Amino acid sequence: MPATSADHTVFAPQALARVRAGSPLVQCLTNSVVTGFTANVLLALGASPAMVDIPEEAGPFARIASGVLINLGTPHAEQRSAMVEAARAAGPAGTPWVLDPVAVGALPVRTALARELLRLRPTVIRGNASEIIALAGAGDGGRGVDSSDGVGAAEESARELARTADCVVAVSGPVDFVTDGARSVRIANGDALLTRVTGGGCALGAVMAAFAAVDEDRFAAVVAAVTAYTVAAELAAKEASGPGSFAVAFLDALAALEEADLTERAALS
């Protein structure tokens, strides 16, 4: 029987507890704008970040990491080589890895790189609606890193991409959408202030890698990751007066997040 939203509401607190108990080591090959924020998000959650993103180190480290994030935000030449090296190593090692195809479709270098990485079978793909549509071959991307499509418009592309790539696809937006091609969940938590902090979306990819590292049901793990992240954003927004104070409050909310918060606040359908 397919899992229901109620099942995921029960699973998410358990997954959060496993992340904190296991402190998964997440290798981040991510963009230069968000490295500090991403590392702090992982630490606040209870995971351990490692920014190992140069050739000859990226592959060996991907074999021993708990999870890997590959984010195409600022893909300079050396990092591009390291990303391919890490993805090639992660698959045979059984290390779950997340592809965040930032601005794919809109820009040629990262689009070609995203296509190459897609052939290496990511465990999870996370992006905004325009990025997911473009990666699925159904559109040309958004306005750089900003989406020009709504999440609803990307749902069928996300399902098709999940089926053809045999992975979990997460579409970020006001209501997040997660699918593995057969199962789908919408998560209506979060706050608009999360979109006004640099790295708000990018760090979520690292959180997905941490949750995927502690559970073999990667679909349920990604739903749990998005739920924990967006519930923390709601709690932080209650304490914040603007984007600056929100960024600090968000880290505090992740660190203080309790299993009961997820049980009580998760808005899944």
Kindly report, residue by residue over 75-89, the tens digit of the pLDDT: 999 999 999 999 999
Exposure class string for 169-202: b at 16+ Cβ within 10 A, else e:
bbbbbebbbbbbbebbbbbebbbebbbebebbbb
Residue 74 has pLDDT above 60, yes or no: yes
At residue 3 the predicted structure's pLDDT band, cuts being 50, 70 and 90, is low
End-to-end Cα, the chain, rounded Å? 16
Task: Work out the pLDDT band at 106, boundaries 50, 70, 90.
Answer: confident
pLDDT greater than 50 at residue 1 = no
Q: How far is CA 124 from the centre of its chain?
A: 8
Q: What is the reported pLDDT for 140?
A: 65
Evaluate if residue 171 carries a pLDDT over 80. yes
Separation CA 205–CA 184 (nearest Å) = 18
Pick from 124, 140, 142: which is nearest to 181 by CA? Answer: 124
Those residues whose C-beta lies under 8 Å from the C-beta of residue 176, and which sit 6 or more positions away, are 151, 170, 186, 187, 188, 190, 226, 230
Beta-carbon contacts of 69 under 8 Å, excluding residues fewer than 6 positions away, are: 26, 27, 28, 29, 30, 38, 97, 98, 100, 205, 206, 208, 209
How far apart CA 234 and CA 243 sit, in angstroms, is: 13
For residue 148, pLDDT over 70 is answered with no
Residue 156 has pLDDT above 50, yes or no: yes
Task: Compute the distance between CA of residue 143 and CA of residue 7 in angstroms, rounded to an integer.
Answer: 37
- Distance in angstroms (rounded) separating the CA atoms of residues 226 and 210: 11
The confidence band for 7, taking pLDDT boundaries of 50, 70 and 90, is: confident
Average pLDDT, the chain: 94
Taking only the tens place, the pLDDT of each residue in 184-223 is: 999 999 999 999 999 999 999 999 999 999 999 999 999 9
Indicate if the pLDDT at residue 119 is higher than 90. Answer: yes
pLDDT greater than 70 at residue 6? no
pTM: 0.94
Contact 44, 232 (CB under 8 A): no
Angle at 125 between CA 69 and CA 92, to 5 degrees: 60
